Amino acid sequence: MSGLLLATIAIGTAAAIVAWRERPEPGAVPLVALLVGQCWWSIFLVFDLEATSLAAKVLWANVRWIGVVVIPVAWVLFSLEYTGRDRYVQPQYVVLLSLVPLVTVALALVDSPLLYADSRLVYEHGVPLLSRTPGPWFWVITVYTYLLGVLGTIPLLELIRTNSLPFRGQSAALLVGIFAPWVSNALFLAGLIPVSGLDPTPIAFSISGLACLGALTRFQLFGTSPSPNPRARRLLFERMPDGAVVTDGHGNVVDINGTAADILGTSAEDALGNPLRAVVPDDSLALTEDSVPAQRPFRSAHSERLYDVTVTPITDVRDRTIGHVVTFHDISEHVRQQQRHEVLNRVFRHNIRTETNVISSYAELLAGEESRDAADEITGSAARIEDLANQAREIIEIFEQGRQSIEPVSLESLLDDGIESVRKEYPAARIDCEPVPEEIAVAGVLDPVFENLVENGIEHNPDPNPLVHVEIETDGDWVRVRVVDHGPGIDADERLTLERGTETPLEHGSGLGLWLVKWGTEIAGGTVTFESNEPTGSIVTVEVPVLSRSDSPRDESAAPST
């Protein structure tokens, strides 16, 4: 028996030394205290077993209580620090946790009958063992010990369900280490141990020591720690640029960040615990029992800014609404930008067209036999200005569609409409298009993209009968539309500018057409690539996701890399 206990002490000491080296990692010091408490219990049990008189055994058993009461307190403190709940590991809380253990140690050192009503020697196979009758305080400290054990276990059980393999391994090892002595002690208290007066709990500490060593070495207990997570979540909530309010199932404010407090013209002290209706008296933030997020505009009376408010229900495991998260996203600048777009759209649609018509009319009036070429050049320039304005207007409309919902549209109808429009403008052109499966739908924002690609392939080809070929390829989730022409091709510098995504004063594109193609494709969640078509011409490939009729818009980040 003493040999097993000495092995337990050696294992626990080794684990304590390893944990001590990890200071000041969160949880390291409490874990050391826990392991030292286990070793203390085991050491004085050895003294107890080696003693032969009743007085000596009682002495060592009473001193043993110092290690016994340290273990549950250290376990709770370790669990709180390790899982990032260290705001509860404050001196005042530690003192409160330690009150019952301190009283227990005091009663043990004076051998009070409140802790043990009677002590006597019993002999098993000629070996004297100490048998004691518990007093009322013994059951108080027993219940308290198991209560702290449960409280310390709950945070670690949460980590068992995480996706992080190290956290699961660490928690599992620690729980094995704490459950082993629990079970053995529970069996002893229930009288299920065949040897009277022999508590096998210290022997189970060998399992605890091995489990802690495994957590420290194999699963890097303090090398990969979850302790920053709760604080990071709180920090994110407090410093997020959007305002956020959390309410309970009765509509009372249970949390609010500083941004939301400023938006609502209140403070956390005034808002917490009060109904949201008391903070915002009107119905602009009325909560509903719907299980889906609701969006609505909200204008702050304190900042005069406009916000897009999202009310998201919080549900429990039974899908019952137990609260709401109300977030405020500032859209003031976006609304101003939208107003600017509307002004630009009006200018491009009306003013520039009117001015170019005036220029063309004056050019015709001033044209004579000698100046006919100059007049044609002026008229041509005016037409190009109007085309540029039309392309800019189309880009604005594409951006507006991207801001709103992108409706799935049949790819076949998009290509047919675009090709038909180009054929009307260039009747001598030849445009071949491969058959398109009817079930393929893509974002409707691609309508001007395909039309511009086909038109570019015709417009810049000096051949009197220019040819453009449209190829279709799909793999089910993505569709690739290749527009192949035989014109002069796209300049290498212009291709580089498009790939870079921005222009400089010295490196820029020749117009807006290809930018319209690039931006429209990206808004549709796809990518566009430009290649040379030997011996002449270019190949432009638009790759976009296939949408069903009920699909929502896809973010451009979902596009495959090319």
520-536 pLDDT, tens digit each: 888 888 898 888 888 88
Residue in 450, 449, 468 with CA at minimum distance from that of residue 458: 468
- Give the separation between CA 75 and CA 153, rounded to whole angstroms: 9
Residues 271-275: what's their mean pLDDT? 87
The reply to whether 235 falls in a domain is no
CB 114 within 8 A of CB 135: yes
In a domain, 178, yes or no: yes
Of the spans 138-142, 379-383, 451-455, 523-527, which averages the highest pLDDT?
138-142
Examine the domain organization and report whether 260 and 372 are in the same domain: no
DSSP line for 462-487: -SSS-EEEEEEEE-SSEEEEEEEE-S
* Residue-number span of the structural domain to which 399 is assigned: 335-404
pLDDT reported for residue 126:
77
Cis bond before residue 24 (omega within 30° of 0): yes
* Residue recorded with tokens 């098993």: 124
Q: Is 116 helix (H, G, I), strand (E, B) or coil?
A: strand
Q: Are residues 190 and 282 in the same domain?
A: no
Mean pLDDT, the chain, rounded, equals 78
Spatial neighbors of 555 by CB under 8 A, at least 6 apart, are 525
Q: How far is CA 248 from the centre of its chain?
A: 23
Query: In terms of C-beta distances under 8 Å and separation of at least 24 residues, what long-range contacts does 269-278 make, across chains too?
Result: 271/245, 275/250, 275/251, 276/245, 276/247, 276/251, 276/252, 276/326, 277/251
- The answer to whether residues 400 and 496 belong to one domain is no
Provide the pLDDT confidence category of residue 504 given band limits of 50, 70 and 90.
very low
What distance in Å separates the CA atoms of residue 174 and residue 179, rounded to the nearest whole number?
A: 9
Q: Select the more confidently predicted residue: 490 or 291.
A: 490
Chain Cα centroid distance, residue 345: 38
Report the chain's C-alpha Rg in angstroms.
39
Whether 66 contacts 40, CB under 8 Å? yes
Instruction: Report how far Cα 324 is from the mean position of its chain's Cα atoms.
Output: 19
Residue where one domain finishes, among candidates 404, 439, 459: 404
* Nearest residue to 481 via CA among 441, 445, 528: 528
Q: Give mean pLDDT, residues 335-354.
A: 62
- H/E stretch holding 130 reads strand 127-134
pLDDT above 70 (res 369): no
- Domain end position, chosen among 404, 428, 458: 404
Q: Do 309 and 296 form a contact (C-beta atoms < 8 A)?
A: yes
Could you tell me if residue 507 is inside a domain? yes
Q: Single out the residue in 404, 434, 463 at which a domain terminates.
A: 404
Going by C-alpha positions, the residue among 48, 38, 52 that lies closest to residue 7 is: 38
Residue 311, pLDDT > 80, answer: yes
Whether the predicted model's global pTM rises above the 0.85 cut:
no
For 409-460, what is each residue's pLDDT tens digit? 889 999 999 899 999 988 888 999 998 877 889 988 888 889 888 988 888 8
482 with 433, same domain?
yes
The lowest-confidence range among 92-101, 314-323, 385-394 is: 385-394
Q: Indicate if 306 and 223 belong to the same structural domain.
A: no
Residue 24: CATH number of its domain: 1.20.1070.10
Q: Is the pLDDT of residue 378 over 90?
A: no
Among residues 214, 186, 211, 217, which one has the least CA distance to residue 200? 186
Confidence at 196, pLDDT banded by 50, 70, 90: low
CATH value at residue 301: 3.30.450.20
pLDDT at 105: 94
Q: Which of 216-220, 227-231, 353-357, 547-551 has the lowest mean pLDDT?
A: 547-551
Which among 518, 516, 537, 534 has a CA at the least distance from the CA of 526? 518
Name residue, tokens 């002690």. Answer: 185
User: Among the listed ranges 177-186, 375-384, 520-529, which one has the minimum average pLDDT value?
Assistant: 375-384
Say how many domains are in the chain. Answer: 4
Q: Residues 167-200, buried b or exposed e (16+ Cβ, 10 A)? A: bebbbbbbbbbbbbbbebbeebbeeebeeebbbb
To the nearest whole percent, how much of the chain has pLDDT over 70? Answer: 72
List pLDDT tens digits, range 39-72: 998 899 889 888 889 999 999 999 999 999 998 9
Count of C-beta atoms within a 10 Å radius of residue 359: 17
d(CA 495, CA 531): 9
Asked whether residue 234 is domain-assigned, the answer is: no
| pLDDT of 500 above 80 | no
Query: Residue 478: what are its φ and ψ, rounded to 5°?
Result: -130, 150
The pLDDT value recorded for residue 480 is: 93
Considering the domain architecture, whether residues 290 and 374 belong to the same structural domain is answered as no
Does residue 233 lie in a domain region? Answer: no
Contact 184, 117 (CB under 8 A): no
User: In this structure, are 393 and 431 located in the same domain?
Assistant: no
Q: Are 516 and 398 in contact (CB under 8 A)?
A: yes
Q: Which amino acid is at 532?
A: S
Residues 130 and 18 in one domain: yes
Which residues are within 8 A (CB) of 471 and not within 5 positions of it... i.e. 6 or more apart?
Answer: 434, 481, 482, 484
Instruction: Give residues with Cβ within 8 angstroms of 420, minimum separation 6.
Output: none
Q: Tell me the C-alpha to C-alpha distance, in Å, between residue 29 and each of 21, 94, 207, 494.
A: 10, 14, 20, 63
Intra-chain end-to-end CA distance of the chain, in Å:
69
- Supply the pLDDT for residue 135: 92
pLDDT band at 553 (very low <50, low <70, confident <90, very high): very low
349: confidence class by pLDDT, cuts 50, 70, 90: low
More confident residue, 454 or 489: 454
Phi then psi dihedrals of residue 14, to 5 deg: -60, -45
Query: Would you state the structure tokens that stand for residue 487, as one six-digit string?
Result: 């014109």
Given a cut of 70, whether residue 163 has pLDDT beyond it is: no
Pair of tokens at residue 193: 């141990």
Do 395 and 447 share a structural domain? Answer: no
User: What local confidence, expressed as pLDDT, does residue 508 receive?
Assistant: 38
- Is 360 part of any domain? yes
Whether 232 is in a domain gets the answer no
Q: What is the 3-state secondary structure (H, E, C) of 517-554?
A: HHHHHHHCCCEEEEEECCCCCEEEEEEEECECCCCCCC
25 inside domain: yes
Whether 446 and 369 share a structural domain? no
Q: Are residues 454 and 388 in the same domain?
A: no
Q: Which two tokens stand for residue 306?
A: 């406009």
The DSSP code for 292 is: S
Query: In terms of domains, do 378 and 438 share one?
Result: no
User: For position 472, what pLDDT does the model report?
Assistant: 92
